[in-house]
């Protein structure tokens, strides 16, 4: 076991520290006494020596970080954009090529980290209607599936060198500060929320607070390696998500955005995300005894929206 309550603290390299998950995770780990070293693209004014990388140029410098206990890799281009050819290249390179760059740097280090947690996504499974999916399920088809497969494959060199690698397949992360929920809140608060298409597509989601606990659980649990679904045990359809969010906000949700309208507005991205059905369960987390604080959508939404800070 890497660490337990009261044990020595960890030296953790974190990428994507300014993103939705990273900006919540970094201060949590610091409060627990761990040393969090942020891998940046450019020097921070307060730091004279720090590890840096430029994935686009294939450059990385980790020497200044020294020996690491753990690496948590969350960096990647936002997929919530129209997928032009240029955007697809950025999305692919920011995940597959950047992860390969980081992995190769880690395996060349004089001392290997004990664990490498690398983000992936439930997009690995593709559009699967009502099929209940777990970590043993085959990959789907489509651009996101291929990105996720390449993303996870890019970490295999670390596994080959004896590092415990965990590929966290993230669902929709619920936070009012950004992501899908952050984008949905303004129209829903004005009573303009509604289901997308027929609303039958399953959305696999996880409360931000539970995701942070999942990452900590993975750090301490040596039984976990390879793919781990970071999702609530209760995926819901888009129609149920819409109805529940409206109820929590006290707003009507009578509108429907037709399938064609969503596709015209967002293109291929809509087909593989908003309109795709991915019903995923966290089989490996459940097997290792992880307890979700917010397993049901309504409770998760009420918690995160009630604790939202003004502004």
160-183 pLDDT, tens digit each? 999 999 999 999 999 999 999 999
Instruction: Specify burial of residue 158 (Cβ count, 10 A radius: 0-12, 13-18, 19+).
Output: buried
Residues 6+ apart with CB under 8 A from 184: 193, 245
CA distance 297 to 174: 9
Confidence of residue 42 (pLDDT cuts 50, 70, 90): confident
Whether residue 78 is predicted with pLDDT greater than 60 in this model: the reply is yes
Assigned CATH topology for domain 11-302: Rossmann fold (3.40.50)
Instruction: Quote the pLDDT of residue 50.
Output: 77
CA distance 138 to 147: 15
Q: For residue 159, give both structure tokens.
A: 């596994």
CA distance 161 to 174: 35
Q: Confirm if 272 and 91 have CB atoms less than 8 A apart.
A: no
Q: pTM, whole model, 2 decimals?
A: 0.94
260-294 pLDDT, tens digit each? 999 999 999 999 999 999 999 999 999 999 999 99
Q: Kindly tell me the number of DSSP H helices and DSSP E strands found in the chain.
A: 12, 16
Question: What are the boundaries of each domain within the chain?
Answer: 11-302
């Amino acid at each position: 076991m890497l660490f337990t309550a009261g044990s020595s603290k960890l030296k953790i390299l974190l990428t994507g520290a300014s993103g939705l998950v990273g900006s919540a995770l970094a201060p949590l780990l610091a409060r627990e006494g761990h040393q969090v070293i942020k891998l940046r693209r450019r020097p921070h004014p307060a730091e004279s020596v720090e590890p840096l990388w430029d994935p686009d140029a294939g450059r990385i410098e980790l020497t200044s970080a020294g020996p690491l206990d753990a690496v948590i890799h969350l960096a990647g281009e936002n997929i919530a954009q129209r997928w032009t050819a240029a955007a697809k290249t950025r999305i692919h390179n920011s995940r597959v090529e950047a992860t390969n760059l980081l992995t190769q740097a880690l395996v060349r280090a004089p001392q290997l980290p004990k664990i490498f947690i690398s983000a992936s996504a439930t997009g690995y499974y593709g559009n699967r209607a009502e099929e209940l999916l777990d970590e043993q399920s085959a990959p789907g088809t489509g651009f996101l599936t291929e990105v996720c497969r390449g993303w996870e494959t890019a970490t295999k060199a670390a596994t080959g060198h004896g590092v415990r690698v965990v590929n966290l397949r993230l669902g929709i992360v619920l936070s009012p500060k950004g992501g899908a929920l952050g984008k949905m809140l303004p129209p829903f608060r004005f009573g303009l929320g509604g289901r997308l298409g027929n609303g039958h597509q399953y959305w696999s989601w996880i409360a931000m607070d539970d995701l942070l606990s999942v990452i900590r659980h993975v750090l301490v649990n040596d039984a976990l390696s390879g793919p781990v679904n970071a999702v609530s045990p209760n995926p819901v359809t888009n129609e149920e998500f819409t109805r529940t969010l409206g109820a929590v906000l006290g707003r009507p949700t009578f509108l429907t955005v037709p399938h064609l309208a969503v596709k015209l507005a967002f293109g291929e991205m809509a087909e593989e995300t908003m309109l795709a059905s991915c019903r995923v369960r966290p089989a490996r987390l459940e097997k290792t005894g992880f307890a979700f604080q917010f397993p049901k959508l309504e409770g998760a939404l009420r918690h995160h929206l009630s604790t939202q800070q003004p502004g």
